[in-house]
Structure 1
């Protein structure tokens, strides 16, 4: 087997904003079992499109194209071709990761999100409009994956979404609920005409929504490939939408679009118990932070703890340590020398785990000094991240994809192109303040740079280097804690993926200890406060999609907090 992989106190620069994608209800779900293949995705129509592609003999990569393009229609608040994504791919021998993260335009400056007074802009003042839009990467990523691992024709895998855009689909209660809570989207004329009725109210759940403009875009991509997105009519539409905003225009150019390229990066793999955990390295902080959390938990018997205040204490303390390092060290590796090997080094993780007191919270963790670092000149910055979507796919040949995809905040920059899709606000994942404590921030805005992410698409191999599980979640910077919790649930507590996904969410991002409101985690509050934790009860609207490979077949789970399903053949 050959796996291309790397061995094993920040100040918040912008004002804290609401949690990503508010909850819209919870449904009771049971795990799904199949024998050949499986798709776990955030909407039943998207998952069904993926299953149909797999049934037609398509690969995991073929299914991912169909799932993503349908998600653009049925879950437009979370992802789409106006955004970016990270993909982890396993072909039975090699782990590969593709970086389709958005990039800052060539004219971007570090002061992009500072107001006239030199202070960071308010979050939504920065988000809404063209200023926040990064050069989209999703279409290039999908094409790259299909060219490399696809089996069916490109036109065939695009067809399900094109047909759905033409024929229409019914608005789900979740989409209607999020539109009802949305404050900015209908200020965009194109989006208002699409999502709202003549009175300005969100179109009701059950309404059939058609998107002929998006259908035309998809047919153009089917005929001419991704180049038709990055040049020509669609590209002109993107640029004019970004630069034409009346109060907050951006500066993206056609040259920015033409220059965009997907980056293949080494998979970031590390041990946990008998397993190998593989994910996406920088510019995502997800795999580093998840492996740091697991590296701390590996020093004790998590199986003996079970869900409860003691387990929440350890996971939260491990999260504090991971987020402290994340705030200081992680950014686009083309611009910053990220000490990746040092951050997941076994000796370093043991030294960090020794800082955890079983009886008392450390409060605010400080970043460590990992080996192999080449610089310690950065100022720390936590930053804000928001909503996303995730898909987990395993095909009948054992190929697997874990892909997390985003347009950042719910409904992105609140800009809809005439080509039928929303644009991202990914650039607000950069630190708004370029300098902290007199030092440049690693994740500051720079021309051509990819903003730091917390997306953590994960593939797990067993002790024999065989595929064991595919996991991931949306949720902004909370993704790291969602994925870590799910991995503990599956690997330590031996839960099926549905039960693991539905466990109460908990953890810390190096601030308060955050427990999911309205769940049994609320009963852990007193026990944690007795250990000195500052406990906050918050909505934690994860969207975990997990598939576990067993001797009898595939077992899948889709987070009950959202409308996703796990289905297959």
Structure 2
């Protein structure tokens, strides 16, 4: 690692990273990611004749290098795929799993009370078995066109030759400075002369480059067996904080799963996304379904009533999310009942167009078993990317290692996730089991929501996803409303300010242009706060003549045409 000297290549990279957001229009393929280097990787793969799946996997690998705070091969993700020839939509679940040693009391302290999130996430206890390489292998086998090894080359070059630290990564590194006293491997990679690398520094990651070469040559078994499995186990067991056991059997036994997408109707559109253990599609369909009886187009994006209605639907849908959803392989999730149009209409009738309800309790969908509400601990991080190829294949994928730099632990140059803190720490509440409790082999509930929207003609018209913990669902729902009801471009739809909530208030995104809504919403009975939310999304929309891609103006991301 060395201070960056301004070469032509480096100057170009710094200028490119400084762009706030770029839209792209394409007659053929396009990509959109939260970092320009990842978008360039996807673009290069499309230009080599790769499929949308190939481009998406190259972006996932590149983001491992340049966006280590958010995602990578040490984590997992959800992938939604549209086949441009057959018109089929499919999904792959690459969510991390809890190791065999994980028990329901994993995140309880000596006093039997749930740990705080800051006490739980650093170190080995929070690490789940990573799923992204297994997801990649399954996606490549189904939809890949280029050789497996070709997809690794952009990431290997970035790790080998170096990448310039941008403003976002520099800020994250600075914020973790105190915590990293216990994580010397992270300091060795990302600190220069005893301090976190600053913006403009060129960093190299030779250990990661070497490991990516090995996986490129040997395939996914190089990740899930042998030296890498031992490295993961050594990192978690030897952690200075929260040491824990992950065995070679845990890692070798991991499998990415093909899941049936969850689809539903909003006005004349068909919305498709991920099912459990993602809560994304179900919660989004509930929000949109409750809003369907209101003319949001007529009300418009600047109407306080529009945002009042959205806030009410949001809180009712999240009440169901936090009660009924979990890993469907371990708990009974009443999926059909939750997305039943009649049930959603019943929930929607609880919305008063002029007054905040104030209390938002879960409903009782058909097939629901007794359960209690308990929140998970998702935090704003993660990443999303979109790829569309010239044949019409589409990938919408959300990838994550959970919080900034995951568990802070490193194996072979990449960060290991802290996804197990997405489980609800308390296994029971009021004497009833929590759907999202820790269990060996189980996948924690997620808000990740890669989404594809289909028009009345059955063709895709909007592709979107986001990063930001529990806000992901609302970012995607808001973007869909902004695109379909308010006619905004992909960039403007994802860049529009967000309304969210906490236990005490509705939150208007600070700097999102929604400040003027505070007083009108308070007049409707809402308690309103204005606060930063840490948002980041990527999208693409089909126009009458071509695709248009957009990256979130809050991020350094770009959309690039093939």
The alignment partner of 2:92 has SS state of strand
Task: Answer yes or no: is 1:310 the counterpart of 2:305.
Answer: yes
1:338-417 equivalences under 5 Å are 338-373=333-368, 375-376=369-370, 378-386=371-379, 387-417=381-411
Checking the alignment, whether the CA contact within 8 Å between 2:107 and 2:425 is kept in structure 1 is: yes
Separation in 2, partners of 1:544, 1:486? 9
Task: Answer yes or no: is 1:443 the counterpart of 2:459.
Answer: no
Provide the residue aligned with 1:35 in structure 2. Answer: 27
Provide the residue aligned with 1:187 in structure 2. Answer: 182
Provide the residue aligned with 1:234 in structure 2. Answer: 228
Residue from 232, 257, 264 that aligns with 1:270: 264
Provide the residue aligned with 2:561 in structure 1. Answer: 568
List structure 1 segments (4+ residues) > 4 angstroms apart after TM superposition.
25-28
Separation in 2, partners of 1:321, 1:392? 29
Separation in 2, partners of 1:409, 1:364? 30
Residue from 14, 34, 39 that aligns with 1:47: 39
1:281-296 equivalences under 5 Å are 281-296=275-290
When normalised by structure 2's length, the TM-score is: 0.94
Provide the alpha-carbon RMSD of the alignment: 1.3
Checking the alignment, whether the CA contact within 8 Å between 2:383 and 2:467 is kept in structure 1 is: yes
Separation in 2, partners of 1:530, 1:382? 29
Separation in 1, partners of 2:540, 2:503? 30
How many residues are paired up?
A: 541
Checking the alignment, whether the CA contact within 8 Å between 1:31 and 1:496 is kept in structure 2 is: no
The alignment partner of 1:472 has SS state of strand
Residue from 159, 167, 174 that aligns with 2:161: 167
Task: Answer yes or no: is 1:496 the counterpart of 2:489.
Answer: yes
Separation in 2, partners of 1:358, 1:28? 37
Gaps of at least 5 residues in structure 1 are: 1-24
1:303-334 deviations in whole A, cap 9, x for unaligned? Answer: 01112321111111001111100111000001
The alignment partner of 2:216 has SS state of helix
1:346-374 deviations in whole A, cap 9, x for unaligned? Answer: 0001100000011111123110011233x
Checking the alignment, whether the CA contact within 8 Å between 2:377 and 2:421 is kept in structure 1 is: yes
Checking the alignment, whether the CA contact within 8 Å between 1:315 and 1:507 is kept in structure 2 is: no
Provide the residue aligned with 2:53 in structure 1. Answer: 61
Separation in 1, partners of 2:492, 2:23? 8
Provide the residue aligned with 1:103 in structure 2. Answer: 97
Residue from 516, 519, 539 that aligns with 2:532: 539
Residue from 128, 132, 135 that aligns with 2:122: 128
Checking the alignment, whether the CA contact within 8 Å between 1:481 and 1:508 is kept in structure 2 is: no
Provide the residue aligned with 1:324 in structure 2. Answer: 319
The alignment partner of 1:385 has SS state of coil
1:507 deviation in Å?
3.1
1:125 deviation in Å?
1.0
Separation in 2, partners of 1:177, 1:404? 22
Separation in 2, partners of 1:110, 1:168? 42
Separation in 1, partners of 2:20, 2:224? 42
Judged with a 3 Å threshold, the aligned counterparts in structure 2 of structure 1 residues 568 and 341 are, in CA distance, closer, same or farther, namely same
Task: Answer yes or no: is 1:158 the counterpart of 2:152.
Answer: yes
Provide the residue aligned with 1:7 in structure 2. Answer: none
Judged with a 3 Å threshold, the aligned counterparts in structure 2 of structure 1 residues 397 and 300 are, in CA distance, closer, same or farther, namely same
The alignment partner of 1:134 has SS state of coil
Provide the residue aligned with 2:67 in structure 1. Answer: 75
When normalised by structure 1's length, the TM-score is: 0.93
Checking the alignment, whether the CA contact within 8 Å between 1:90 and 1:401 is kept in structure 2 is: yes
Checking the alignment, whether the CA contact within 8 Å between 1:27 and 1:561 is kept in structure 2 is: no
1:469 deviation in Å?
1.3
Separation in 1, partners of 2:446, 2:503? 17
Deviates more, 1:448-457 or 1:516-525: 516-525
1:30 deviation in Å?
5.2
Provide the residue aligned with 2:470 in structure 1. Answer: 477
The alignment partner of 1:544 has SS state of strand
The alignment partner of 1:370 has SS state of coil
1:511 deviation in Å?
5.2
The alignment partner of 2:514 has SS state of helix
Separation in 1, partners of 2:375, 2:352? 24
Separation in 2, partners of 1:173, 1:187? 24
Provide the residue aligned with 2:14 in structure 1. Answer: none
The alignment partner of 2:264 has SS state of strand
Judged with a 3 Å threshold, the aligned counterparts in structure 2 of structure 1 residues 509 and 87 are, in CA distance, closer, same or farther, namely farther
Checking the alignment, whether the CA contact within 8 Å between 1:26 and 1:562 is kept in structure 2 is: no
1:268-319 deviations in whole A, cap 9, x for unaligned? Answer: 0000111100000000111111110000111111101112321111111001
Gaps of at least 5 residues in structure 2 are: 1-16
1:165-193 deviations in whole A, cap 9, x for unaligned? Answer: 11111111111111112242353111101
1:519 deviation in Å?
3.0
Residue from 492, 500, 503 that aligns with 1:507: 500
